Structure 1
Amino acid sequence: MTLNPARPRSSAAPFAALLIAVLSFSLMQTMVVPALPDLQQEFRTSTTTTSWVLSAFLPTASVATALLGRVGDMFGRRRVLIASLVVFAIGTLLAALSTSMGMLIASRAVQGVGSAAFPLAFGIVRDQFPRERVPVAIGMISSTFGIGFGVGLVIPGPIIDTLSWHWVFWLGLVVILVGIAAVAVFIEESPSRSPGRIDWPGVILLTDGIVALLLTISQGKSWGWGSAGVIGLFTAAVVLLGVFVVMEGRVREPLIDMELLRRPAVATSHVAALIIGFGMYGAFTLVPLLAQTPSKAGYGFDASVTESGLFMVPMAVTMLIASPVAGRLGAALGWKLPLVLACLIGLAGFVVYAVAHDTEWTMYVGSAVLGIGVGFAFAALANLVVSAVDPRQMGEATGINTIMRTIGGSLGAQIAATVVASHVITGTRVPAESGYTTAFTMSAIALGVAAVAALAGPGTLRRSTSPAPAVVPAVELRGPSTGRARGDSTTG
């Protein structure tokens, strides 16, 4: 089968459609964050209960990413992408209409289905775009995840100040509906298929395991990391995910091919995604909080919600610029180099945060540097996976990579917040400056570990021979135990 044949029509419109689709999801991850104080006050609930507005989104997003990525491989990625966006739109509509905290939390859980947009979009790009454009396109789509995350912290401030928190969801719904229309009009159905059946026992085990793990992460601060509830949930997560791994290696048509995860390029990408997510996502929440700190505390900039979001704008801008650069660099020299550079550049950004957060301009510089690292990381991680698997395994492979990044980001954000909260100015509830310094240093160390992990992966930092095509069709093999088609790894 010939992959990514050159088409006479331009790929600009399909690419724009995919960007809108994934942007609609990435925006809604954080657009609700500035509204949390208003929600807590309006519904008269505790901080722990209000945090579920964020937490409920994560379990369904993680499971939907793996499940619908696999379903897209089986039944057609365009069809499943539209279906996931429709469910996402329904969840957003329900959130906009919510009149209780319970209804809002349930709506946010439904919204998590939209996470499938990322692995499905990667598959569509590989199937339908000209081969030479695939790395750059995947890099741009990957960075939309981070761009939407950052921009989602900026936009809601003026909306909440002038209207209400309901309008955050109405605005998000408009973007989703535009994305659905664009995909329906401009995207063709993917030609590749991976026939099979859904491994429902695997779905249940994966769902329960991820829910237990993310609950452990999200509730650790409020319940206490050493509490019986947190320890019990973590133990349950380890057991459930362990049983899942064992079962997936024995069933004929697993939800996730364990052999696929053992390929060096794929494994390196997943480990790096976990560590990078841990290191980088703390900044998305800590920087606005630091900016909002009253200057009488000895640091901080007395920023409003809207003003604090502006500290993330340089990160979004440099991500947008860095992604295509990383795509071209990876296509020419292999994906190991941009991944290592991503970790080192991200490390430098966190060093700036840690040692020079006393003035606004240095914080902007730190955000800009970190944005370059994030842009390189997202482009390299996705392309490492895409170039190493058979097209029929795109959904599950990229889905797991997104899950690893989500889990790492959730863990990093929670631990960073815990570190900051554990350092307070004596006699007050205001976090001490040392808490932020420690948290930023911790993220810098994590990026250093990720750089080591990337260096330990397969390949060299620069190809010594002529570069291989951006996407190489994998050699189809028949696994003796699973009966599924498998491909050999091909990566730089």
Structure 2
Amino acid sequence: MSAATPRVLVVALCVGGITVALMHTLVVPLLPVFPELLGVSRAQVSWLVTATMLAGVVGAPVFGRLGDLFGKRRILLLVLGIMLAGSVLGAVSWSYGPLLVARALQGAAFGVIPLGISLLKDALPADRAGSAVALMSSTLGIGGAIGLPVAGVLPQYTGWHALFWLASAMSAASLLLAWRFVPESPVRAGGRFDVPGAVGLSAALICLLLPVSQGSEWGWTSPRTLGLFAASVVIFLGWGAYQLRVDAPLVNLRTSARPMVLLTNLAAILVGVGMFTSFVLIGQVMQAPVATGYGFGTSLAVAGIAQAPTGISMLIFAPLSARLSNAHGAQLTLLVGCVLLAATNLVQAMLPGSLLLVVMIITVAAAGTALTYAAMPTVIMEEAPPTETSAANGLNTVMRTIGTSTCSAAMGAILVTFTMTADGQVLPAPAAYQLAFGIAAGCSAVAAVLACFLVALRRRRTAAIPLPELVAENPQVTGPADRTRNPGPAATRSGPGSCGGYRSRP
């Protein structure tokens, strides 16, 4: 391993984050043609997305906790190696079975996001950690924004295997960068790995998300769907009771129940819906025939190019969000992002008639996504103990995935329910997109309300700190007007490596 400057460290980890996020949207544009290419049913093809999602929601908290216990760099290299193996397997696969295994291995790498966030927090000085963590968290959206157009355009000229060779190259580059430039964190948690807790959480999440993703195929009232939902509730209750009794739990539920953490995780689910709706639907709107009354009749390539500014927008606004968070608190940053998502989804529900206007709207929506994704880990790490940051961020990543998975299932059901005939094709009716974007706007608005409570909690904490104590810990605070620059009594000064210059309360 070579010594790395802070900038090189950030680049090394963010390349891994973008690559991981790319895996989740890699095959989405190809789903309509995979049944013919692989000789399987449409229901079987949907598992190429479901397997990745399920492996991701299990891998994020499990690998995050393993990193807290055994070394974040060590587990990061392991996870990146798994992603590389899955990408290579997909590149050499010509049948459904190996490709399904490859997609599951790619999904398991979702743990890179929480591990990267914690490594940056532990390794960087306080004045660099905020913007770096913000950018790392936003890679989850940046990779998705880049992945959809790339996955839509590249196979037209090279074949679908090229996507997996591209994923293999990016995975290998991520692994090499991490091996050479990412140092091991000195922060370790005590105790053993909670195997029963990992098994219980995995089972509960699978029982929840499996019917969410497959409910439209199985039937929402079928015994299999309802049975899995019921099993999820029962397992979650039993798992929660066990986590409260064990000495070193997989997820510290007492920390997760703190208002700041709980409200942030709830907002993460809703933000996932608000963000992913645009990612999933806007390309379909662009390519829909003009005869529908809402479509623009673009080609797949043009639609991909039109969505390119979203990735650029997220790259710009992710580091800028750190400045807003440092000045006014990450809670306010989260609020601003949620308001932008609510506003842009509401405008999209009106089905604008200008392609340029649509591109402008989704670019602003991407900025809102960057702000929300960048703010959430900062709020979480102000509350979580330093030895549990990877696991806590892993849980937050799971919450985002629950939101995006629920969004995908709900939007799919809406589009097949409200249909029309145009140019001899059965296509979603305008009402379908109006309802879908309206739901996304509503979810984003509720997330904004939760963010308002977070802002109020932060201000209440700040107001409760005696001014002499603030001045003693922060010499830059000179009077009452500066009190809002501090995170509140939950945080105390720490040295280099703490997020934003503060460490969590015990």
**TM-score with structure 1 length normalisation?**
0.92
1:45 equivalent among 40, 45, 65: 40
Match of 1:483 in 2: none
Alignment of 1:77-116 (within 5 A): 77-116=72-111
1:444 matched to 2:441: yes
Number of positions where the alignment pairs a residue of Structure 1 with one of Structure 2: 472
The CA deviation at 1:314 is: 2.4
Match of 2:453 in 1: 456
> Identity of counterpart residues, as a percentage?
32
Alignment of 1:328-339 (within 5 A): 328-339=323-334
Looking at structure 2, the residues matched to 312 and 235 of structure 1 have their Cα atoms a distance apart, in angstroms, of 39
2:162 equivalent among 167, 170, 175: 167
Alignment of 1:20-419 (within 5 A): 20-419=15-414
Q: Would the aligned equivalents of 2:318 and 2:370 in 1 still touch at CA under 8 Å?
A: yes
Q: Would the aligned equivalents of 1:60 and 1:113 in 2 still touch at CA under 8 Å?
A: yes
In the superposition, relative to structure 1, how do residues 450 and 100 fare at CA in structure 2: closer, same or farther (>3 Å)?
Answer: same
Cα shift readout 1:433-466 (whole Å, capped 9, x = no counterpart)? 1100110011001111111111123213996516
2:10 equivalent among 6, 15, 18: 15
1:435 matched to 2:453: no
Residue 61 of structure 1 aligns with an amino acid whose one-letter code is G
Q: Would the aligned equivalents of 2:492 and 2:504 in 1 still touch at CA under 8 Å?
A: no
Residue 185 of structure 1 aligns with an amino acid whose one-letter code is R
Looking at structure 2, the residues matched to 138 and 388 of structure 1 have their Cα atoms a distance apart, in angstroms, of 15
Residue 127 of structure 1 aligns with an amino acid whose one-letter code is D
In the superposition, relative to structure 1, how do residues 18 and 488 fare at CA in structure 2: closer, same or farther (>3 Å)?
Answer: closer
Runs of 4+ in 1 over 6 A off after TM superposition: none
The CA deviation at 1:473 is: 5.6
Looking at structure 1, the residues matched to 92 and 382 of structure 2 have their Cα atoms a distance apart, in angstroms, of 43
The CA deviation at 1:428 is: 5.3
Unaligned runs of 5+ in 1: 1-7, 476-486
Looking at structure 1, the residues matched to 359 and 425 of structure 2 have their Cα atoms a distance apart, in angstroms, of 28
Looking at structure 2, the residues matched to 29 and 175 of structure 1 have their Cα atoms a distance apart, in angstroms, of 14
Looking at structure 1, the residues matched to 435 and 124 of structure 2 have their Cα atoms a distance apart, in angstroms, of 44
Task: Say which is worse superposed, 294-303 or 15-24, in terms of deviation.
Answer: 294-303
Looking at structure 1, the residues matched to 60 and 279 of structure 2 have their Cα atoms a distance apart, in angstroms, of 22
Q: Would the aligned equivalents of 1:348 and 1:369 in 2 still touch at CA under 8 Å?
A: no
Looking at structure 1, the residues matched to 52 and 346 of structure 2 have their Cα atoms a distance apart, in angstroms, of 31
Looking at structure 1, the residues matched to 82 and 119 of structure 2 have their Cα atoms a distance apart, in angstroms, of 20
Cα shift readout 1:402-459 (whole Å, capped 9, x = no counterpart)? 0000001110121122112211015952110110011001100111111111112321
The CA deviation at 1:219 is: 0.6
SS of aligned partner of 2:245: coil
Alignment of 1:467-478 (within 5 A): 467-468=485-486, 472=491
Looking at structure 2, the residues matched to 126 and 413 of structure 1 have their Cα atoms a distance apart, in angstroms, of 32
Looking at structure 2, the residues matched to 210 and 377 of structure 1 have their Cα atoms a distance apart, in angstroms, of 24
Looking at structure 2, the residues matched to 200 and 14 of structure 1 have their Cα atoms a distance apart, in angstroms, of 32
Looking at structure 1, the residues matched to 339 and 188 of structure 2 have their Cα atoms a distance apart, in angstroms, of 38
Q: Would the aligned equivalents of 1:318 and 1:371 in 2 still touch at CA under 8 Å?
A: yes
Cα shift readout 1:80-137 (whole Å, capped 9, x = no counterpart)? 1011000111111111111211221121111122111011101111111010111111
In the superposition, relative to structure 1, how do residues 461 and 92 fare at CA in structure 2: closer, same or farther (>3 Å)?
Answer: farther
Q: Would the aligned equivalents of 1:352 and 1:362 in 2 still touch at CA under 8 Å?
A: no
Residue 468 of structure 1 aligns with an amino acid whose one-letter code is N
Looking at structure 1, the residues matched to 263 and 493 of structure 2 have their Cα atoms a distance apart, in angstroms, of 18
SS of aligned partner of 1:231: helix
Looking at structure 1, the residues matched to 159 and 492 of structure 2 have their Cα atoms a distance apart, in angstroms, of 50
Looking at structure 1, the residues matched to 428 and 194 of structure 2 have their Cα atoms a distance apart, in angstroms, of 47
The CA deviation at 1:472 is: 4.8
Q: Would the aligned equivalents of 1:420 and 1:436 in 2 still touch at CA under 8 Å?
A: yes
Looking at structure 1, the residues matched to 156 and 113 of structure 2 have their Cα atoms a distance apart, in angstroms, of 32
In the superposition, relative to structure 1, how do residues 474 and 68 fare at CA in structure 2: closer, same or farther (>3 Å)?
Answer: farther
The CA deviation at 1:297 is: 2.1
What do you get for the CA RMSD once the two structures are aligned?
A: 2.1
Looking at structure 1, the residues matched to 32 and 115 of structure 2 have their Cα atoms a distance apart, in angstroms, of 34
Looking at structure 1, the residues matched to 58 and 484 of structure 2 have their Cα atoms a distance apart, in angstroms, of 40
Unaligned runs of 5+ in 2: 463-480, 495-502
The CA deviation at 1:353 is: 0.9
Looking at structure 1, the residues matched to 317 and 207 of structure 2 have their Cα atoms a distance apart, in angstroms, of 36
Residue 392 of structure 2 aligns with an amino acid whose one-letter code is A
Q: Would the aligned equivalents of 1:277 and 1:405 in 2 still touch at CA under 8 Å?
A: yes
